[in-house]
Amino acid sequence: MRSILTRTVVLAVAASATLAGQAPAPAGSPPPWAYTVNPPPTPGATPAPADPEPKQVPGSTVSLTTSQTRDAFNPPDWHPAAHPPMPDAVAHGRRPAMRACGFCHLANGQGRPENASLAGLPAAYIIQQMADFKNGERKSAEPRMGPPNAMIQDAKAATDDEIKTAAAYFSSFPYKKWVRVVESKDVPKTRIAGSMHVPTNDGSEPLGPRIIEVPEDLARTELRDAASGFVAYVPPGSIARGEALVKTGGGGKTVACTACHGAELKGLGPVPPLAGRSPSYTVRQIYDIQQGVRKGPWSALMKGAVEKLTVDDMIAIAAYTASREP
């Protein structure tokens, strides 16, 4: 691990040397389609009571009520045979402050667009990120977005042992294809609910320069079914444009990502994989690193890659990386 980081440091220094002296491109404010902020609750409205009927999902014999699927200290595990036994930190967390990792990242670590996939990440990388969240070195560029703040609270509550066992768990099995990337001029109209884009079922609108990620099956995603993935709508032509940036650096706009993230973007040593992961997550991370709110000890290696990117470049890069086989 040390040798790969040394090698990547050398690469990074070389990369920032070529970029030195050029002003960073201003990227404006955090793109609201990527940083999903829930609208304020309607004054006086009371949330509908949870349906008491037990629910099931395809391919599972488990039966749970909607309230049970929302328990942050005992989240649903619809498909227990599809992953190794979960350590306590992942399955239950610890009251009062540490929600189960599996509540947000799902039992199999596939994650959701508003958080992150953890399956298949290098254990050393997971441990480093937990330290960064704890130490205030990893924050979101959009302080009003709820889930990253919740992640920081969880990291602060987690003990070294809990972090070690959770990291060993999530790194022990591969991330599976989870996001279907579709180039499209139009996109179903959505609203933000539960920090996620949810189709409003009243037609479509122009996608424009955005990425909109929605559940393949909203009902299954709402029940936290870890076997039902997402579809990401990306602008026409963005995948090919992203490929050029990722592989060649786009003529000095950025640096080839493959040097550190691996030829197939499947990760290299402790450097995380990018292939097949949520494109909204990827845009947020590139943006956070560029803005300097994600600034852990390893983030410096990303400087040359991100400093000159516009949000449009980030969209193209994320469309391409998400479209790759994990």
Positions that interact with ligand HEC (CB under 6 A): 8, 11-12, 89, 98-99, 101, 103-105, 114-116, 118, 121, 126, 128-130, 138, 140, 147-148, 150-151, 154, 158, 162, 166, 246, 254-255, 257, 259-261, 271-272, 274, 282, 284-286, 294, 296, 298-299, 301-302, 305, 317
Structure token pair of residue 280: 């909204």
CB 108 within 8 A of CB 225: no
Q: ∠ CA 186-188-191 to the nearest 5 degrees?
A: 125
Tell me the closest approach of the beta carbon of residue 144 to ligand HEC, in angstroms.
Answer: 13
Q: Is the dihedral of CA 162, 163, 164, 170 positive or negative?
A: positive
Structure token pair of residue 196: 């996620």
In sequence order, the 6+-apart residues with CB closer than 8 A to the CB of 199 are: 188, 189, 190, 214, 218
CA 216, CA 220: separation in Å to the nearest integer?
9
Tell me the closest approach of the beta carbon of residue 43 to ligand HEC, in angstroms.
Answer: 26
CA 7, CA 1: separation in Å to the nearest integer?
10
Tell me the closest approach of the beta carbon of residue 186 to ligand HEC, in angstroms.
Answer: 27
Q: Which is nearer to ligand HEC, 128 or 238 (CB)?
A: 128
Task: Give the type of residue at 189.
Answer: K
Count of C-beta atoms within a 10 Å radius of residue 174: 11
Tell me the closest approach of the beta carbon of residue 2 to ligand HEC, in angstroms.
Answer: 13
Tell me the closest approach of the beta carbon of residue 205 to ligand HEC, in angstroms.
Answer: 26
Q: Which is nearer to ligand HEC, 188 or 287 (CB)?
A: 287
Tell me the closest approach of the beta carbon of residue 176 to ligand HEC, in angstroms.
Answer: 16
Q: ∠ CA 121-125-129 to the nearest 5 degrees?
A: 110
Tell me the closest approach of the beta carbon of residue 270 to ligand HEC, in angstroms.
Answer: 7
Q: Which is nearer to ligand HEC, 228 or 285 (CB)?
A: 285
Q: Which is nearer to ligand HEC, 30 or 188 (CB)?
A: 30
Q: Between the CA of residue 116 and those of 74, 187, 253, 301, 317, what are the distances in Å?
A: 19, 23, 26, 20, 17
CB 268 within 8 A of CB 4: yes
Q: Which is nearer to ligand HEC, 57 or 196 (CB)?
A: 196
* Residue of 171, 211, 176 whose CA lies nearest to 320: 211
Q: Which is nearer to ligand HEC, 158 or 188 (CB)?
A: 158
CA 311, CA 286: separation in Å to the nearest integer?
9
Q: Which is nearer to ligand HEC, 158 or 315 (CB)?
A: 158
